[in-house]
Structure 1
Amino acid sequence: MSRTYVVTGAASGIGKSTSELLTEQGHRVIGTDLRDAEIVADLSTASGREQLVEEVTRVSGGGVDAVLAVAGLATPNAATVAVNFYGTVATLEGLRPLLLRSPSPRAVAVSSMAALFPPDETLLNALLDGSETEAMARAAELEAGDAQRSSLIYGTAKRALSRWIRRQAPTAEWADASIPLNAVAPGVVYTPMTAYIMSDAAARSQVAAMVPMPLNGFFEPRGVATLLAWLTSEDNAHLCGQIIYIDGGSDAVLRGDTVF
């Protein structure tokens, strides 16, 4: 049966690969991005997030079957926090009412194995329990610091997103409404976001040491797309609040038994 999917970040990388896969499967895809998409919206701003919800509501006719919040940045600046956390949360919360029109609603976000790295606790606390103003101010402080401090931005935003998913998934708004809410956490994927790593041998070796992927190493976005497609299919009716690491083994290597 054909379903209607909303995919953010649809113009490149994992979002583009996922959109292509879902289209191949016969589904309708409403793609959103900064450019080259059916709906153009900037998730780093409050107005852009509102525009996304308004346009998806209009284009879809008021109902969708699945929301895939894929859009994200990996730059060491405050914009990464704005898009990766607040943009993703606004997408999921803003489009949740449209999911209620579906007989089999699904929602998924893209986190990262970088969430496993030690975060900046001040930023993390602001994201989860403070205001956007506080979080963005702290992100700006980290951005203005040295490379070690600014490098904390991406992983901290993804850790906050993973925790948000865990907190929200079992609630009345999601689980009691029969909407499975989950996230995937990829390792290093060949996308435009990681192109600078792949083009430099030294950077590639450094990342490989930081992100051990013993099972087949770095991989193409189609691998993540396949998982995202299943998580938002009618077959997935009981996964709730799971952060699924599709990372070639990074989680197992870095955390070992601590997950238990």
Structure 2
Amino acid sequence: MISLKAREAHPAGGKVTARTVLITGGNRGIGYALAEEFVAQGHRVAVTARSGEGPAGCLTVTADVTDGASLDAAYALIEAQLGPVEVVVANAGITRDTLIMRMSDEDFDTVVDTNLGGAFKVVKRATKGMLKARFGRIILISSVVGLYGSAGQVNYSASKSALVGMARSLTRELGSRGITANVVAPGFIETDMTAALPEEQQAEYKRNIPANRFATPSEVAKVVAWLASDDAGYISGAVIPVDGGLGMGH
């Protein structure tokens, strides 16, 4: 069951304005944690997924962010059930890691089309309603790799770095209409992927992180939820790292 009732306050005690929130790739990892956080704060939450389900309390819509027709259908369903999208979090992404000499054109194009092109398609469809309402929160999930770089991730790094230019261009286009656009750049996060790494490799990664640990998905989610709040209305075009200091200075 989808609860449309807003809570009076979030756990910190501040007021929360219930919004209609769309999160892409909300069936696992960071996207799932994002959906859980927004639901907990009393928002009306929809997630897109190519397979699987989002957490309890949200609307899961099957969609492929690279397919404009499937996104049109997803938006129609979300708006019919939850209302116009006021907060969009472009989180869906993929990797196809390999050194550049081995990276095929398809490896590069597929990652960029999903991570960058998918964000563009999702955001573009949300802006019409945001402009009409003169309110909107656009949050693009990048990565520390987008600015820090990583061997074997030319495609992924390029796609995530480009989100910064997108957010800043959106800020200049839409900022006067009450719409903000920001980037959150997570570092290493506790997910099934990092848990599967050998302990020695995990320890090596942690030695390079000043905080000496990986982040939890909920730590990323709380930053994103705050950027979507009324309190963050004067922040736009920013890159907010959630990486324990790994990429500082970049």
Would you call these one fold, judging by a TM-score over 0.5?
Answer: yes
Residues 68-147 of structure 1: pairs in structure 2 closer than 5 A: 68-76=89-97, 77=107, 78-102=109-133, 104-118=135-149
Q: Secondary structure at the match of 1:106?
A: strand
Q: Give the count of matched residue pairs.
A: 218
Cα distance in 1, alignment partners of residues 62 and 71 from structure 2? 10
Map of 2:168 onto structure 1: 166
Cα distance in 1, alignment partners of residues 182 and 204 from structure 2? 30
**TM-align CA RMSD:** 2.3
Return the letter of the residue paired with 1:230. W
Structure 2 contact 188–215 (Cα < 8 Å) conserved: yes
Structure 1 contact 18–225 (Cα < 8 Å) conserved: yes
- Which of 66, 86, 97 is the equivalent residue of 1:65? 86
Structure 1 contact 64–101 (Cα < 8 Å) conserved: no
Distance 1:181 1:118, change over 3 A: same
Task: Percent identity, please.
Answer: 27
Return the letter of the residue paired with 1:186. P
Cα distance in 2, alignment partners of residues 91 and 235 from structure 1? 24
Shift of 1:17: 0.8
Map of 2:244 onto structure 1: 248
Q: Secondary structure at the match of 1:39?
A: strand
Q: TM-score, normalised by structure 2?
A: 0.78
Shift of 1:45: 3.2
User: Gapped runs of 5+ residues in structure 2?
Assistant: 1-16, 55-59, 98-106
Structure 2 contact 134–179 (Cα < 8 Å) conserved: no
Structure 2 contact 206–212 (Cα < 8 Å) conserved: no
Q: Secondary structure at the match of 2:247?
A: helix
Map of 1:44 onto structure 2: 66
Distance 1:55 1:203, change over 3 A: farther
- Which of 77, 99, 104 is the equivalent residue of 1:55? 77
Shift of 1:101: 4.6
Shift of 1:2: 2.1
Q: Does 1:2 align with 2:5?
A: no
Return the letter of the residue paired with 2:156. Y
153-162 vs 44-53, which moves further: 44-53
Distance 1:104 1:207, change over 3 A: same
Map of 2:43 onto structure 1: 27
